[in-house]
A and B are shown apart, each in its own frame.
Chain A
Amino acid sequence: MAEKTIQLEVKRQASPNAEAVWEKFELEWRPGMNVTSALMEIAANPVDASGKETTPVTYDSNCLEEICGSCAMVINGKARMACSALIDQLEQPIRVQPLTKFPVVRDLAVDRSVLFENLKAVKAWVPVDGTYDLGSGPRVFPQQQEASYPLSNCISCTICMEVCPQFNEATGFVGAATIAQTKLFNAHPTGKVYKEDRLRALAGDGGVQECGFAQNCVEACPKQLPLTEAISDVSRDVLIQKAKDFLRA
């Protein structure tokens, strides 16, 4: 081919129990492309590098601007968001595969509902009395807002869980995202009424104690959440809570 092309390899799997196979694609290069636009290109012309017809790749995406958290996958060995993975910044052939710690639905789409379940377990919400007009909220100084805001930026992409050596079936670890949300809600003037419940939920197996301080999460998080700080703060609070509960018992 005369024009510049992109070499892309995609790990495909037709269904949760099907065998996975790698498929090679060669696509026309255009400036400003990213991995999701390359996958769209395949959908519009589902032919592999050898010219054989294939099917469009199944993957999750929505916002295409790294804010909805849908498109996490492993690209050239690194867990990251596909919509912000610029083709020009990737070594070729670009190898794309699904996250490895979550059940594959099909191709690059995986089931990450475990995170939403974890958020339920730690009551990641502010228990307001109701939606009727009760006047203004509690005063919050800018310093506190500046501390909460970064934690509130978590897009539930689960990359911190994917890259964590402790996140596996053996430990049942909840993962960094849930712990960060615990810190967020425990710091909120109203949210903190559930502080003890949240800490207890993280006190047993699969809780904060599973963290091995590998620090992979904080490096991989696309939203730069201060995850190690959150984990150590919450770990400390869990210990204090355990001590209190022990004395009370």
Chain B
Amino acid sequence: MAAPKIIVVGGGLAGLAAVIKIAEAGGNVDLFSIVPVKRSHSVCAQGGINAAKNLKGEGDTTDKHFDDTIYGGDFLANQTPVKAMCEAAPGIIDLLDRMGVPFNRTPEGLLDFRRFGGTLYHRTAFAGATTGQQLLYALDEQVRRYESEGKVQKYEGWEFLSAVIDTAGVARGICAMDLRTMEVRTFAADAIIMATGGIGAIFGKSTNSVVCTGSAQSALYQQGVYYANGEFIQVHPTSIPGEDKLRLMSESARGEGGRVWVPRTLGDKRPAKSIPEGDRWYFLEEWYPKYGNLVPRDVATRAIHKVVYEHGLGIDGQPMVYLDLTHIDRETLNRKLEGILEIYEKFVGDDPREVPMKIFPGMHYTMGGLWVDFNQMTNIPGIFAAGEAEYQYHGANRLGANSLVSCIYGGFQSGPNALAYAKSLPAQQGDGGHAAELTRQKGLNQLLLSNQGTENPFKLWRELGDTMSKNVTVVRINKNIETTEAKIEELLERYKKVNLSDRSQWANTSFAFARQLYNMLELSKVVAIGARLRDESRGAHFKPDFPERNDEQFLKTTKASFVNGAPKIEYEDVDTSLIKPRPRKY
């Protein structure tokens, strides 16, 4: 028998980690990505990657990392896989180090660690302020090595449209579109791994990259894969408001001593630096003396919201607060945070070493995602998922620097598991469903190209982003969510009248975008309805009308399936076999 063929969709950290494991074990991989993999969203990660290496003599252990992760996620994550991830994390750091990631070092030449939110330990390894970029490059280089050995075939500039599923309900490949020639074709595989990242674009502006639309996850959900915990969306407390996107100001700014404050009196017109200590309100330090500025993200986000909207103390009455680093000397700042400070300087025009930064919360991370079992396989046999695209490791809220480790760990698990699955896969009947799927996708394209109407897909998208950001992020009120649901239905109606100003069949980006938009709309419904039905507050999900966590009713994973064109929500018990849920109080 020929070596099994695995398709990996997505070349961020999760996808590349999967590819490396498969190639190493002798499998054949086809790697698909919209952008050249080296340009994947993972490069945006700034702050670092967690592992309890305990190199600072603090007595940190993988068990404590496990406990922090579960507690930080408000007990919604299944505990068995999270424990395994935390145990594997130190080995992953060592491997990345061996691959040449230029991690910051101690004078003795050992790995340096910093503190991040939601923990009391120095547990975060980092490479300057561009950790994600450095990690992605390390994996990209290993994949390039396998590519040059002929073990990996890259399809960059191809977009996944759907899975090919046979009559027995087993995955047999994918259908994809070449974004230059617009050719649509199917590719055979014994198993596929989805590593397509987060869904920031359904919120319009976010800290995510342009291709993080969730379109692939939505397509699979519409084909029968469960989408889990969709309502859990992390809003990062400190982003830089911008015209085209919300640029992140990494948590490491606070990890290195950054302090969040507002002037105590509204309309204080003095330049920030000249405002004396006594006239500043360091509200995080006051409200959370133990963790101070390093409370978990959801807590910090809601605190900033409260100061701005309830106390009315945003800077100049605008939705913004100060994040201040100016008390730290330039040299230290440059050594530890140069990359992120440059971002601020470049995109805002002020020097954050001299002037406190102005920041506000922005949509940042997708805790929910494709439902997977402990082997990273979805409910459709042969479809695996890893990275931000799946739901498994972060529960109701992700801790800073835990995503990179979950992406690599999930990729490392999914690769060998997919290979093992593929080895025992019975041969397909007939063509495995390839012809039918190809016909269906070509039909969808044809429909879109021949549409007559007046709607511009980019405008519809902005309206979607506005309503999602307004009603389904930091503070959730059922009545408002219903407004958003109605709006999505309206947008779906108007989508039928999308008129492509460009009908050419060469590198037609608006055509590709219009296809993604439909999937975004369907996925938005999952997020909104999941949020409406969960009448409690847990982690990132906060409802003022239901301010308490309700374990009896909602210590459960939300699972959405696509039934008659709408999400059907059901709930599944969470694995709490190792740590008994306790109240989450920072």
Contact = CB atoms under 8 A, between A and B. Distances in A.
Interface of A: 14-15, 30-34, 36-37, 40, 43-46, 53-56, 58-70, 83-84, 86, 105-107, 109, 113, 116, 119-120, 123-128, 130-131, 133-142, 145, 148-149, 152-153, 155-156, 185, 188, 190-191
Interface string B235-279: 000000011110110000000000000000000000000000000
Given A119-B144, A131-B95, A55 B507 contact: no
Contacts of A55: 501-502, 504, 510
5 contacts: A32-B243, A44-B456, A65-B343, A106-B507, A125-B142
Given A40-B244, A126-B98, A152-B102, A105 B501 contact: no
A130 to B, nearest CB: 6
Contacts of B458: 40, 43-44, 56
Given A64-B209, A86-B349, A105-B180, A188 B100 contact: yes
Nearest to A43: B458
Given A34-B244, A40-B458, A120-B148, A136 B35 contact: no
Contacts of A32: 242-243, 347-348
Given A55-B501, A105-B507, A66 B346 contact: yes
B134 A152 contact: yes
A63 B35 CA distance: 11
B94 interface: yes
Given A44-B458, A68-B43, A130 B35 contact: no
- Please report whether the interface of chain A is mostly helix, strand, loop or mixed according to DSSP: loop
Contacts of B151: none
Nearest to B241: A32
Contacts of B38: 69, 116, 156
Given A56-B509, A106-B507, A65 B105 contact: no
A142 B98 contact: no
B462 interface: yes
B439 to A, nearest CB: 27
Interface in B97-115: 97-100, 102-111
A26 to B, nearest CB: 17
A40 B134 CA distance: 29
A145 B107 CA distance: 11
Interface stretch (B116-124, B125-133, B564-572): B125-133
B510 A56 contact: yes
Nearest to B459: A44
Nearest to B509: A58
Interface residues of B, number: 70
A70 B508 CA distance: 17
Interface string B349-391: 1000000000000000000000000000000000000000000
Interface of B: 20-21, 24, 35-36, 38-41, 43-44, 91, 94-95, 97-100, 102-111, 127-128, 130, 133-134, 137-138, 141-142, 144-145, 147-148, 180, 209-211, 242-245, 247-248, 343, 346-349, 412, 456, 458-459, 462, 501-502, 504, 506-510, 513
B244 A139 contact: no
Contacts of A46: 456, 501-502
Nearest to B95: A131
A145 B102 contact: yes
B337 to A, nearest CB: 13
A106 B91 contact: no
Contact of A128 (B99, B109, B210, B501): B99
A54 B501 contact: yes
Given A15-B506, A119-B144, A137 B91 contact: no
B41 A139 contact: no
Contacts of A31: 243
A145 B103 contact: yes
Contact of A14 (B130, B349, B412, B504): B504
Contact of A141 (B97, B105, B243, B248): B105
Given A37-B244, A70-B35, A125 B502 contact: no
B18 to A, nearest CB: 11
Contact of B133 (A67, A139, A190): A67
A59 B210 CA distance: 12
A142 B107 contact: yes
Contact of B142 (A40, A128, A137, A140): A128
A153 B243 CA distance: 26
Central interface residue in A43, A156, A190, by most chain B CB within 10 Å = A43
Given A62-B39, A68-B209, A106-B506, 7 more contacts: A15-B506, A56-B502, A62-B209, A63-B39, A67-B43, A69-B38, A142-B104
A33 to B, nearest CB: 5
Contact of A56 (B147, B348, B501): B501
Nearest to A105: B507
Contact of B144 (A109, A120, A155): A120
A18 B508 CA distance: 15
B35 A152 contact: no
B98 to A, nearest CB: 4
Nearest to A152: B102
A54 to B, nearest CB: 7
